[in-house]
A = this chain, B = another copy of it.
Amino acid sequence: MEAPSERGLCPNAMTTKYEERILEIGAQARNAARALARATTAEKNTALLAAADRIERSSGRILAANEADMKSATASGLASAMLDRLRLDFGRINAIAKSVRQVAALPDPVGSVIREWDRGDGLKFAKVRVPIGVIGIIYESRPNVTSDAASLCLKTGNAVVLRGGSESLGSNLVIAEALREGCREAGIIPDAIQIIDLTDRGAVRAMAEMDQYIDLIIPRGGKELIETVAKLARMPVIKHYDGICHIYVDRAADLAMAESIVINAKCQRPSVCNAVETLLVHRDIADAFLRSCGLALQERRVELRGDERTRAILGPGVALATEQDWRTEYLDLILSIRIVDSPEEAVEHIETYGSHHTDAIVTEDEPIAQAFLRDVDSAAVFWNASTRLNDGGEFGFGAEIGISTNRLHARGPMALEELTTYKYVVRGQGHVRG
């Protein structure tokens, strides 16, 4: 039996040693960030290409580590969907290396001039992109996030502190080591890529509180993870929350176009944040549109839930949508449908129930489209296009770290530019303040 004093001391002593390790990692990252900020684009690209080669050459070691991770995860009863995310094979490792090379090929935003101007008296101003500093990334099973996140941070001159799921730690460590080797080969300090090698859940809290060393945290995972990080964090957090996305089919819509957009937005990949969840239809074209589109959706095994007017058209086989349906991100082959009397009513519905993520209007009436695009307060608003196009790749950004639901700094697709901030560089000839 333990003495009370020992029971009291033990957790403290553990916490201290544990926090020391996290603080050590943070300090190394901060130190590396200062050096990395000065690296040239050529040096960073050399490191990325060397890292991609290293990843391919380390396939055997990565697969061995991944097999060990899979064994432990299977033994501990991880769900099969999670196991599939965790699993690596030669194809997936090649895809990882290819992604790293793609990041090397993207333009480097660091040092680019956002705006420059002259005051008229010789004082010259420039607003210049610079790295953010140290970025913390907290993620779940997929080991490819290790290289995706690290390569995007490296390209933008940011040190990174990675904290993957404990079930993938072995795989993550080998991948991260390949990236660090790539840095070494290019003369970049490998400490720019840090991985939290403690599986304790308290690591997330320790990272979130370490604002002297981490400038920004990006949690990639489920809502619970994001909420935990947002609550604990002392630094800014980029959140990737729900997409309760809408398509409004106006009375002036091209109905064939509308049907094609709705089917794409619902069925192409229903499990993601930019899939449509609620369809709003103008009453004047509801009958014609829903009879055709409803059938097409049902043929694709989409479950429809409609308001009373929708059911009057599609029949009682369609379940009655409840207040809760309007607020639900199904992430599945389910679609709620409501008939509205005007574009204004559609906007009102979206502003009331939506999550300000992605919303679309289908219409040939330009003034109605313009009003919708102005009045719907979402990260991305589409006219005659599918909500599924709200994506860094589709936008032409080359790569993205996610779709931010924050309003500030990064809104919508978060790519290389959003991994930078700016500073003002001012050049004078002895200018003083009068």
Apart from A34-B377, A257-B429, A386-B433, 13 more pairs, CB < 8 Å: A37-B375, A37-B377, A38-B375, A123-B385, A215-B408, A216-B407, A261-B432, A268-B432, A373-B425, A377-B423, A379-B424, A381-B425, A385-B431
For residue A422, CB closer than 8 A to chain B, the reply is yes
- Complex alpha-carbon distance, A394 and B423, angstroms: 16
**Cβ–Cβ contact B383 & A426, under 8 A:** yes
- Asked, given contacts A34-B351, A215-B407, A421-B408, whether A427 binds B132 with beta carbons under 8 Å apart, the answer is no
Find residues 41-74 in chain A having any chain B CB closer than 8 Å to their own CB.
Answer: none
**Cβ–Cβ contact B268 & A389, under 8 A:** no
For residue A8, CB closer than 8 A to chain B, the reply is no
**Cβ–Cβ contact A385 & B257, under 8 A:** no
| CB proximity of A355 to chain B, nearest CB, Å | 13
For residue A89, CB closer than 8 A to chain B, the reply is no
**Cβ–Cβ contact A381 & B426, under 8 A:** yes
Find residues 368-395 in chain A having any chain B CB closer than 8 Å to their own CB.
Answer: 373-375, 377-386, 388-391, 394-395
For residue A343, CB closer than 8 A to chain B, the reply is no
- Asked, given contacts A123-B385, A389-B123, A426-B385, whether A421 binds B433 with beta carbons under 8 Å apart, the answer is no
- Asked, given contacts A130-B377, A377-B34, A383-B427, whether A422 binds B411 with beta carbons under 8 Å apart, the answer is yes
Set B216, B408, B422: member contacting A216, Cβ < 8 A: B408
Chain B residues with Cβ below 8 Å from A425 are 373, 380-381, 383
- Asked, given contacts A123-B385, A385-B123, whether A133 binds B430 with beta carbons under 8 Å apart, the answer is no
- Complex alpha-carbon distance, A215 and B411, angstroms: 13
Chain B residues with Cβ below 8 Å from A261 are 430, 432
For residue A298, CB closer than 8 A to chain B, the reply is no
6 contacts between A and B (CB under 8 A): A34-B351, A132-B407, A268-B432, A268-B433, A380-B425, A384-B429
Flag A102-145 by CB within 8 Å of B: 1 or 0 each. Answer: 00000000000000010100010100001011000000000000
Find residues 155-197 in chain A having any chain B CB closer than 8 Å to their own CB.
Answer: none
- Complex alpha-carbon distance, A283 and B426, angstroms: 25
| CB proximity of A262 to chain B, nearest CB, Å | 10
| CB proximity of A389 to chain B, nearest CB, Å | 6
**Cβ–Cβ contact B427 & A385, under 8 A:** yes
Chain B residues with Cβ below 8 Å from A413 are 424
